[in-house]
Structure 1
Amino acid sequence: MLVRFNSAAIENRPAIGAAMMVVVIKWSELEHRWGILLAEILGAEAAAGVAMFNAVENESSRRHLLTAASNKRLSLKYREEMDALINDVRKGAKLRNDIAHGQWGAADNDPDGVVLGDGRSAGEGVARSHAVEHGIETLLGSAKVPPMLMRYDIRDFQQEAARIDILIGRQIALTASIRAHREAAKAERNLIFGVLDAVEQNSLP
């Protein structure tokens, strides 16, 4: 099987290219909602939380920011939910990053699939390979360290998009839960202050 790494791999497979782009777009929404959730944790405006989150470019630093805010402001129950969500998002970031930054190619006789390679696969490089279930093992100029080229079809990207939707749903639910808890606590404080104020007014001569 001959695998070529160039832009034609995606251009000649528009349905796959569209499915890949959906993954990237949904991931952008997920990152945007991190900013909204951060704002809710801090009791700030949504725009401020989004701006704060976007100002941190490194993924690891973003996770530390979310964790630090969670640990400082949330109860144990919400911290555990937040930690689980952060961890699940972290584990799912690889394919989105590969779509955006990876070397993509395709086999001449495989119109329904694309292949993710490594740095040595760039440009018009070609490799003779044989299919291995969900991947393609090939030699790219080095018999000692053969890289693994992973094959994807449209279903893989559709499944990834669906998985991101689930993560976004968890973000939305957690944001709403934290907001409801904060508003309930605020209402309780206002009630207490109202009672104290009434007592103080009644006690005046």
Structure 2
Amino acid sequence: MNKKLLIVISLFLSLHSAFSDSTFRNNNSAIKKMQVSQLTSAGIEKEKSLKQIYKLMPMDLLRVEIGEEPEFPKEVRVAADGTVSLPHIRKVAVGGKTLYETEKIITDLYLDGYYIDPQVQIQIIEYAERKVQVLGQVNKPGNVLIPPEENLTLTKAISGAEGLNLRADSHAVQIRRLNTDGKIEVVKVDFMSILKKPDSEDIYLKNGDTIFVPESIF
């Protein structure tokens, strides 16, 4: 862990002991459990293979193979509208689909009058950039990239921003997420509780999330 982050954590542990009473701790514990139930669903999937969990997005570059068919292999990039163009079947909507789902969709389309037994295999050869923003009371505010083929946790994101600074309120970290209905949902997380308990479940982030660390009132 970053040396600065370790120092900041130590300082916050001291502040927490000095200023927190049992009621305050219990309330934050309840808040943390509620957020874990909402935001750790990706954690359930983290043991699955890449083909089961990664959902395609615009700018992903794919390699599509269909046995020994002469038109393949073919490299195609996912367009801004979430589609790819392939021989005969033209545009195929793949955005938001896993590789398994995409292989099945393309297989079914080619079975409809094109190939007798298409053996569709798809690989991602270049990933679109995925990132979150970490703002507020951290040492290096800005974007933190989500590594390809990995999930990004709240702890890793804050570490990627070089940790909390001395003014941070680690008990009230906010995660802001744009929902499918176009509305922004703000969820409050007791980040210090995650750091203090090794067995605590971390929060899994999504592409486009914004993490905001407010200033402490102490």
Q: TM-score, normalised by structure 2?
A: 0.25
Asked which structure has the greater RCO (Cα within 8 Å, sep 6+), the reply is 1
Specify the structure having the higher radius of gyration (Cα): 1
Higher helix share: 1
Point out the structure with the larger strand share.
2
TM-score normalised by length of structure 1: 0.26
